Chains A and B, each alone.
Chain A
Amino acid sequence: MTLTWPRCVAAALVMLAGLCLLVVALTRIAAVAVPVAFLLIVVVPGFAIVNAVDPWNIHIHLDERIFWIVAGSLGTTAVSGLALNVTGGLTPLRWAACASVITAAAGLVAWTRSGGAGVRRADLLAVARGLRGRYRWVGLWAVAAALAISAVALSIYSSSTSGTERFVQLFLVPIPASRGSYATQARLGLTNREGSRTTFLVRVTVGSRKSTQERVTLQSGATWSRVLSRTKRQAISAQVLLAKQPDRIQASVRLGIGR
């Protein structure tokens, strides 16, 4: 059995797909899962298919190769989704397994089609020589990359700081929600969208009872809630104020009485 260059590539792709499958099965860490997902969805299956079609890199130019690798990966993913839909469902593990099977099948075809002379040292040297001449313009590329990164950073900073709306969400949802004004219980809640840790004053009135006031401190994005009960003839109302601005009602809600 001769280990030719295309066979090396096919074997490497199959091992990579297997490793990705293992990662998907064992971990949920985003830093690891994101590149694995990108490889499985955008690179590996298409690479294996292109390698099977043109193992010796004779018929397909590099730019075409890149195009068909990506198109092949996305296309097989799309079509695989239809197959997974009827064979159990679209889950991460099944996705990874499907991509691995496709890669293995294509790798087998590439292996079969690429027997012959062993790995040619001249091939590897030619690749290295081709890359060497491109390092001369690295400085220009670095300038371009720096400009692009600056643009992206400016956009992110500008959109996150300019004109950001600051407000508080106050809600009084019947339990269950479909009961509407006929519900005898309701969930009162508020979510802090002020952008920073904030203290709120929540005033609640149930029917003709005296209002109660509660002090609630929340981190940005956090939600506080509690369940209120009433009889069918009691309306519930609530207002929220900022502790630092107790004279201005920020929002108010009311659960009416059904007709």
Chain B
Amino acid sequence: MAEGSVLSADQRQAAPSVQPPHRVRRRAGMRLDRVVSPLSAIGLAFGVLLVASGYAGSRNGSGWAGAVYWLGQAVLYGAPAIALLRSKGISRGQGATLAVLIATATYLINEAYSPGRLLFLDEFEHVRTAEAILRTHHLFTTNISLLVSPQYPGLEIVTTALASIAHISIDLAATIVVGVLHLLTALGIYLLGIEVTNRPRWAALGVLLYATEPHYQFFDSYFIYEVMALPFLVATLVAAVKMVKADTVRGSVVWGCVATGTIAVTVISHHLTSYVMWVMLACLEVGLLVVKRRRAVSWRLPTLLGIAGTLIAVWDFHVAYYTVQYIRTNLASLVLPASDKVHRGSSLTPHLSPGTLLIYASVLITAALVAGGMWWLYNLGYVRTETMGRGLRIGIGIAALGLFPAIGARLLFAGGPELWGRAATYVLIPGSLSAAACLIGAPLAFKRYRQGWLARAALAQRWSWLAVGLVVVVALGGIAGGWPPSYARMPGPYRAEAWERSVDAHQLDLAQWARTYLGSNYGVASDFITASVLGTIGGQANAGNTSELLTSPRWTAADRALALKKSIDLVVVDLRLTKDLPLDGSYFSSTPSSTGAHPLAIQGLLKYNSLAGASRIYSDGTMIVFDITGTIPAHRETTPPRGHAS
């Protein structure tokens, strides 16, 4: 029996005296493998401690912080890679433990950045939805900061349930829920690997390789609705595979019902993930069509595809009617031609820094491993004659092919890096299993060429260490090219328009004040970060495209007309923008523009001090809020009534 392989349910039921593999006594030579899990845990924890030390040093402005951070990341990925690639084999339990440990360690890194506090702007949009649910005790409220958010309430339902029963804040409930979902995703990928390959080491390595995807440590661990759908996408694949492999109709019906449940949760949680789920199920079906299979099972996946398609159509077009508009708008902003906009960090940059080289190396190695692993998925060892499993593995391989268009998108489109990161979240679910196959299967291929030049170079003997190095390079490159961007990767003092580095106590306390004393839905003109924060957790309305109100040196008729057109009630000023250049390229949007070349002029920000009819209603020495409704009497009469202060 191959390493760590498991008995089928029928085998276990027929022979109850046969011990499941995880209870089999191990051979003496493999006793060291019993400490794989605790030793990996020590390595992972040490990596987390190094990263946390790097964060602490960065907050204090220490020069060594960056080096310690990268060392910690290398240890974090190197330790389990060594455990998996240098061991002869692991048990199923050890593999599951490693999967959970990897997820735990990476989530702790996210929390170490800002313990117990949400900082990402997208998270605030979903906090606003959650707050509305807690306030109204009902779903499908209106969230003007992200219209589509209340229509996919899966994440907010679970979070508000926890927050309301436990009487804790949304931030704390979100931290707990997202942490659990993060662990669930990792364990789900492990189980998918077990179902498809029957090898714990392979499956655990797949989890580790998945953890190298650019968004894994941060973006896919944020309080955003995709994070709820992701583990249920994986759960759907697991249940679908088990449904196909079930030996009895009853078993297939049970797993079909489970898959239907997980499909439903995915559909109500996130639009894009549900589409990817349907495509991956279709890939599995294509894989099964390639091999000969019994007619008795040929109806299973098509039925599931029909159910999934129906649920998606009903939800996305009947309940979540903002979906089409939302996807169209966001897709357009990401695929604009590269000649029109050059985003900071675009892969078309001619300047190849060490970080850029690391990113490219990571992408190329990943592509090579995934491509190489497909051969192993097709020709998996002793189970070559097992058609069902082979068909499922072919399906996984087909799904993994999505990696290559994603790489193409990274190279071609203006929003390439973000597109790649978003796509990698999905395509590396099957891709990581394929890449793991290549890393584990390569030595077997080398042995066939013992007399060849590769063997002479003793590469096969050194392969495990080389493989560890490849995993670490892929991981570090993923971090370098992922989220947060380089200027926000380490925590520290405020920096202008630097995403997580721009959300500090001034922003958060201002948002809380606005919600408490102003009520809701006042039109706000400000820089991108401040307007986003106020437009989400501040409960106000982010007018957008109002840069002239903060850049023109004097109040003009054009400013007045703009304020009237955009229903601006408040102009919010951050005096730090007169000193700090925007790290994201612009003060007023997430894409670069000419307004980012120089700090803002203070005259433009403080012209409202002397403007007749304007009031300065808030100041903390850094942030100032001007109420300009008194400058436009007609505006006050025509704007709709605002929500009352809490």
**Which chain A residue lies CB-closest to B52?**
A151
List B residues 19-45 near A (Cβ within 8 Å).
20, 22-23, 34-35, 37-39, 41-42, 44-45
Stretch at the interface among B120-128, B327-335, B394-402, B502-510: B502-510
Please give, as numbers and ranges, the residues of chain A lying within 8 Å of B164 by CB-CB distance: 90-92, 95
Q: Decide: B232 and A75 in contact? CB cutoff 8 A.
A: yes
Q: Decide: A180 and B35 in contact? CB cutoff 8 A.
A: no
Q: Decide: A81 and B139 in contact? CB cutoff 8 A.
A: yes
Q: Decide: B139 and A151 in contact? CB cutoff 8 A.
A: no
Q: Decide: A152 and B115 in contact? CB cutoff 8 A.
A: yes
Contact flag A259-B613 (CB < 8 Å), given A90-B137, A180-B629: yes
Q: Assess whether A8 is interfacial by the CB under 8 Å rule.
A: no
Q: Assess whether A17 is interfacial by the CB under 8 Å rule.
A: no
Contact flag A70-B180 (CB < 8 Å), given A90-B139, A171-B517, A255-B615: yes
- Shortest A34–chain B CB gap in Å is 4
Q: Decide: B617 and A79 in contact? CB cutoff 8 A.
A: no
- Shortest B242–chain A CB gap in Å is 9
- Shortest A172–chain B CB gap in Å is 5
- Shortest A176–chain B CB gap in Å is 8
**Per-position 1/0 for B587-619, Cβ under 8 A of A:** 000000000000000000000010111111111
CA distance A174 to B268 in the complex (A): 42
Contact flag A63-B617 (CB < 8 Å), given A79-B264, A177-B645: no
* Number of CB contacts from chain A to chain B under 8 A: 308
Stretch at the interface among B152-160, B368-376, B434-442: B152-160
CA distance A165 to B492 in the complex (A): 12
Most buried by A among B190, B254, B506, B616: B616
Q: Decide: B631 and A259 in contact? CB cutoff 8 A.
A: yes
Q: Assess whether A105 is interfacial by the CB under 8 Å rule.
A: no
CA distance A252 to B569 in the complex (A): 20
List B residues 455-499 near A (Cβ within 8 Å).
491-494
Contact flag A77-B41 (CB < 8 Å), given A53-B254, A159-B491, A171-B617: no
List B residues 230-274 near A (Cβ within 8 Å).
231-232, 235, 238, 251, 254, 258, 261-262, 264-265, 268-269
Q: Decide: A144 and B42 in contact? CB cutoff 8 A.
A: yes
Contact flag A61-B92 (CB < 8 Å), given A90-B161, A191-B513, A256-B614: yes
Contact flag A172-B166 (CB < 8 Å), given A61-B6, A74-B181, A164-B505: no
Q: Assess whether A147 is interfacial by the CB under 8 Å rule.
A: yes
Contact flag A63-B48 (CB < 8 Å), given A30-B167, A170-B620, A174-B627: no
Please give, as numbers and ranges, the residues of chain A lying within 8 Å of B158 by CB-CB distance: 41, 74, 77-78, 81
Please give, as numbers and ranges, the residues of chain A lying within 8 Å of B191 by CB-CB distance: 63-64, 67
Please give, as numbers and ranges, the residues of chain B lying within 8 Å of A176 by CB-CB distance: 644
Please give, as numbers and ranges, the residues of chain B lying within 8 Å of A79 by CB-CB distance: 261, 264-265, 268
- Shortest A112–chain B CB gap in Å is 15
Q: Assess whether A212 is interfacial by the CB under 8 Å rule.
A: no
B153, B166, B176, B569: the one contacting A33 at CB < 8 Å is B166
Please give, as numbers and ranges, the residues of chain A lying within 8 Å of B153 by CB-CB distance: 81-82
CA distance A53 to B250 in the complex (A): 11
Q: Decide: B20 and A61 in contact? CB cutoff 8 A.
A: yes
List A residues 118-171 near B (Cβ within 8 Å).
130, 137, 140-141, 143-148, 150-152, 154-159, 162-165, 167-171
Contact flag A168-B265 (CB < 8 Å), given A137-B38, A150-B49, A254-B616: no
6 CB contacts below 8 A, A to B, read A37-B166, A148-B108, A176-B644, A177-B522, A178-B642, A180-B629
Query: Which residues of B are interface residues toward A (Cβ below 8 A)?
Result: 6, 9, 12-13, 20, 22-23, 34-35, 37-39, 41-42, 44-46, 48-49, 51-53, 55-56, 59-60, 92-93, 96, 104-105, 108, 111-117, 133, 137-140, 153-154, 157-158, 160-162, 164-168, 176, 180-181, 183-184, 187-188, 190-191, 228, 231-232, 235, 238, 251, 254, 258, 261-262, 264-265, 268-269, 491-494, 504-506, 509-510, 513, 517-519, 522, 569, 609, 611-622, 627, 629-633, 636, 641-642, 644-645
List 4 extra interface pairs beyond A90-B137, A181-B614, CB under 8 A.
A74-B181, A90-B161, A159-B117, A169-B509
The 7 closest A-B pairs by CB, nearest first: A181-B630, A81-B157, A140-B38, A147-B45, A37-B166, A144-B41, A180-B629
